[in-house]
Amino acid sequence: MTPFIRAAAQRYDVPVKISSVVEGRRAFLLGTTIYLNADLPEERANWAFCHELAHLLLKHHERMPRDTVEEEAQERAANFLASDLILPEEEFKPLMHLSLEELKQRFSHASYEVIARRRLKFRPGLLTIVDDVKISARLAPDGWNRPMQLFPPESQALDRCLQEKNELVLQEEGMTVEATYIDEGRGVVRVILFAEEGF
């Protein structure tokens, strides 16, 4: 059990079980007990715990969804609350001037992706997640996916970031693009782009 999960479970008085029986799933809620997959990396375990805790706090365990529409609404609500549980607004929002790398250093219990998605709520821009040179998500503050094609400054920042294997900021054509290189040794190279102004 991670230190983050231990502290949050104690604060909310929630029983947590770590088990390899949760095969194929990150986590689930059974009654008021949160079950987490023993094989999850620490950051993913922290997010999975917060997501299931959100379901519990929202009392989703008391009533099964009637259909997929209601189930999807519950999942969105749980994700929204989980983001505040893992990165509380009062601690996170004042630091929006920091780069993604600096935010990761301060909130090491959360993944780069969770931090980047949460930052989008408080700092308008265009977030793009690139895995092995393929765009896997492109989001704006309103939550909607954007066209998958990168703007020229984003493409330039991506290329340079992959070459330099480092975080960088590029200002081009009225756009500021922050590119963060992430290789955690799991066989996937990820670059997170964050574009502001005039996109």
Per-residue 3-state assignment (H helix, E strand, C coil) for 121-145: HHCCCEEEEEECCEEEEEECCCCCE
Query: Which position has the token pair 């090491």?
Result: 108
Query: 124 vs 192, which has greater pLDDT?
Result: 192
Q: Per residue in 101-150, pLDDT tens?
A: 999 999 999 999 999 999 999 998 999 999 998 999 898 877 665 677 89
Residue 3 has pLDDT above 90, yes or no: yes
Give the separation between CA 137 and CA 127, rounded to whole angstroms.
Answer: 8
| Architecture in CATH for domain 3-86 | Orthogonal Bundle (1.10)
Tell me the pLDDT band of 199, cut-offs 50, 70 and 90. very low
Instruction: Please choose, from the candidates 95, 27, 88, the residue with its C-alpha nearest in 3D space to the C-alpha of residue 61.
Output: 27
Nearest to 158 by CA among 168, 149, 147, 148: 168
Strand-strand pairing, 16-19 and 33-37: parallel
Cα R_g (the chain), whole angstroms: 18
Decide which of 145 and 169 is more confident.
169
Tens of pLDDT, residues 47-61: 999 999 999 999 877
Average pLDDT, rounded, for the chain: 89
Residue 21 reports pLDDT greater than 70: no
Choices 3.90.380, 3.30.43, 3.30.450, 3.30.70: CATH for 89-196: 3.30.450
Phi, psi of 15 (to 5 degrees): -70, 140
Q: What is the mean pLDDT of residues 94-103?
A: 95
Confidence band, pLDDT 50/70/90 cuts, at residue 66: confident
Q: Where are the domains of the chain?
A: 3-86, 89-196
